[in-house]
Amino acid sequence: MIFKIVSLFLVGMGVLAMFGKLTVPGAKRFADAKCRSCGKFTFGKPCTCKERN
């Protein structure tokens, strides 16, 4: 019984690991939309972090 529970747990963890390696379509676009200095999302407008300092 314990072997069955442990094996199901390990299979479940393996499946979660496979889903974790998948890439989301459009993720690069979101990564490029961040300001390089402060990390704030800037969709179509310049970041105001440099104006504040």
Per-residue pLDDT of the chain (53 residues; tens, 9 = 90+): 999 999 999 999 999 988 887 777 777 777 777 887 887 888 777 888 876 65
pTM > 0.75 = no
- Asked if residues 11 and 20 have their Cβ atoms less than 8 Å apart, the reply is no
pLDDT on residue 45? 76
pLDDT on residue 52? 60
Q: How far apart are CA 10 and CA 7, in angstroms?
A: 5
pLDDT on residue 40? 82
Query: Dihedral angle at the C-alpha atoms of 7, 13, 18, 23, nearest 10 degrees?
Result: 170
